[in-house]
Structure formats: structure tokens, C-alpha cells
Amino acid sequence: MTSVNQSCQKAAYISRCLQLAILLEVSADKPGNVNFTTNFEDTCKEHFLASAIAAGPAFQEAAKRGIQIAEGKRAINEAGLGELIELAVREVMEWQYGGNTILGTIILLMPISVAAGMTHTKEEYCIDLNILRNNINTIICASTATDAVRLYEAIDVAMPSGLNKSPDLNVNDPTSKQRLTTENVTLYKVFNIAKDYDDICSEWIRNYPITFDEAYPYLNEQITKTNQNNAIINTFLKILSDHPDTLITRKAGIEKAKEISAEAKKTLQIGGATTTEGKAAIAKLDHTLRKDGNNYNPGTTADITATTIALCTLNGYRP
């Protein structure tokens, strides 16, 4: 049995790991995203820094609930993923005026936070990623219709762009929230509807294959070869080259998303952030992505990159 003090310490540790991951992601000079050198018209790095801090209490509460589940003090279907996501989003929107900054990241990280609380840890709270992944799947599959309603309410607060393509239970349809309850549509079922055209939903439904199977091993390898900034940029390019960004797809169409992925692949093939030629290609790609406002912002790729970094920090990585 874990003492109250140990539980609080573990929950705080998990929260700090996830907050650090968000901070490290925005600090890297990734093309097409807000970073420490380039902003969007209405959103800048300070908004993301504030968001990372603001999300901390919700991550900590999620980890506490995971600990309670592991100790048999809370039922698995009472984790409240939707409530936790909404709590984080409301805090983020309260603490900065840059609009929706990290909704996708929060959606991806919240099950990880609960699952990390559920996962037995050894010295210094190092998280076993294989057990973590099993627990993530367990907690997501146990989601409820109430979770789905609370997610829709979180989306109402964040007001992200591009969420208007769902064939059913569209978040912009005022009748959808009522249907979630009356038809007992769980959050898992909601994301299952969108899994084939939204990679955040796909990660949930398919147990984070991009994050665990592709991006994390790649980032781990990159960290041994180059500095942190370059490793994160190249991991971002790797994800983008293999998976056309679904935010770009929603805003500009699949053909444009594929075109951008092809450019990312070429950039990585000539060294990405680690070579002179690669850096020049990154600058060119960045210029392309910043055309026409932020319609070409690889936001989903950034969310998955932050989630990948979170696996590193949970497993002991420190900058």
C-alpha cells in the first residue's frame, strides 16, 4: 500500500514529467510550429509556456486517480478522462490569451498520466513503458459516455479549428452531446469514429502505435547522436514524413498534407537538423508551412512529438 505522502510525490513527479515534455517540444525549432524563434500572429511561445504550467494540476490529479485505481480505491471506469481533459483545457485557457495551444497534447497525455499513476514504479519513480502502455489501453477502453460529453465541453472551451468533418456526432452539432448520453456513446467509441482521419484519435484507439513503436525508438536513438534540439526536430520530421499531418489534412486537404510529408522526408534524408543542407531544407519547409496563415501548421505532429518526449521523461530522461 502506498502512503499518502508517497502517492502525492509520485503524482507530482508524473505531472512534472509531462509538463517538461510540453516545454521541451515547444523549445525545439520545428518547422511550421510556434517555437522560441518564430510565433504565429496571435499565438506565441509565452502562450505555450503558460499552457504547460497551467495543465500541471490536471495531470497531477489524473496521476492521483491512477494510483487510486491501482490500490482498488477507485473503479477503472471512474477515472474521469473527459473531466480531466476539460479541467486541463479550462486551466490552459484561463492562464493565457493565445487561444487553443495544446488541446491535442492534453488529449494524448491524459490517459498516459492516469496510466502512469497505475503503473508500479521502482527507484525514483522510473516508469516501465511496457506496463504503462498496457495500462493506457485499459484506461481508454474503460471510458464512458460521460467522458465523451466532457470532452465535447472541453472542445467548446478550446474552440480548435478544423473540427467539422465527422460523419457522425460532429462536435459542432448541438444535438451531439445529448446523443452521447442517450445512446451511451463512450469516449472510446467517439474516437473510433474518427480514427481513420485523425491521428490523435487513432493513437487512442490503436494504443499509441506512432508514439511507442516509431517515434520513441527514433527519438531515443537521436538523443545519443546529437543535441536535444536536433533530436526533437528530426523526430518531428520523422513523424511528419511517415504520417501526413491530419490537422493540415482537415484544413488544406490530403494532397497538400502528402506533399508536405514528402518534403519532410527529403529534408530528413539529407540530415535534417544535423547537417548544413538539412538545415537549409528545414528553413525552406518552414517558409512553405507558414504560407496562408497557419493552415499548414503540423499541429498533430507536434502533439505526437510532445507525447513521445513524455515517454522519455517518464523513463528518466532529463535535458
pLDDT 10s digits, 53-79: 999 999 999 999 999 999 999 999 999
Amino acid present at 121 = T
**Mean pLDDT along residues 99-120:** 96
What are the phi and psi torsion angles at 127 (to 5°)?
-95, 130
* Residue 51 within any structural domain of the chain: yes
Do residues 59 and 15 touch, judged by C-beta distance below 8 A? yes
Is 90 within the bounds of a domain?
yes
Q: Give pLDDT, residue 174.
A: 84
Asked whether the beta carbons of 129 and 207 are under 8 A apart, the reply is no
Question: What DSSP state is assigned to residue 171?
Answer: T
Domain tally, the chain: 1
Is 245 domain-assigned?
Answer: yes
State the first-to-last Cα distance of the chain, in angstroms, to the nearest integer: 32
Place 123 in a pLDDT band, splitting at 50, 70 and 90.
low
The answer to the question of residue 43 being in a domain is yes
Mean pLDDT (whole number) for 189-216: 96
What average pLDDT does this structure show over 219-243? 97
Q: Is the pLDDT of residue 227 over 90?
A: yes
Determine, yes or no, domain membership for 122. yes
* CA–CA dist 85, 70 (Å, integer): 21
Top pLDDT among 291 and 7 is at 7
pLDDT in the model for residue 162: 63
Angle 1-14-48 (CA atoms, 0-180°, nearest 5)? 160
Lowest mean pLDDT among 117-126, 135-144, 190-199, 302-311: 117-126
Provide the pLDDT for residue 135. Answer: 98
DSSP SS3 for 199:
helix
Q: Does 266 map to a domain?
A: yes
Q: Which amino acid is at 89?
A: V
Residue 42: the pLDDT is: 86
**pLDDT confidence of residue 163:** 65
pLDDT at 297: 92
Kindly state whether residue 287 falls inside one of the protein's structural domains.
yes
Residue linked to cell 519532410: 264
Considering the domain boundaries, does residue 319 fall inside one? Answer: no
What distance in Å separates the CA atoms of residue 313 and residue 302, rounded to the nearest whole number?
17
Rounded Cα gap, residues 52 and 26, in angstroms:
10
Q: HSE (CB half, 13 Å, CA atoms) of 150? A: 21
**For residue 213, how many other CB atoms are within 10 A of its CB?**
13
pLDDT surpassing 80 at residue 181: yes
Percentage of residues in the chain with pLDDT exceeding 90?
85
What is the pTM (predicted TM-score) of this model?
A: 0.96
Q: Which residues pair with 121 in a beta bridge?
A: 127
Q: Which domain covers residue 19, as residue numbers?
A: 4-314
Residue 15's Cβ-count burial label (10 Å; 0-12, 13-18, 19+) is: buried
What's the maximum distance between 2 C-alpha atoms anywhere in the chain? 58
Average pLDDT over residues 308-314: 97
**Domain CATH for 126:** 1.10.4200.10
Closest CA to 262 of 242, 290, 286: 242
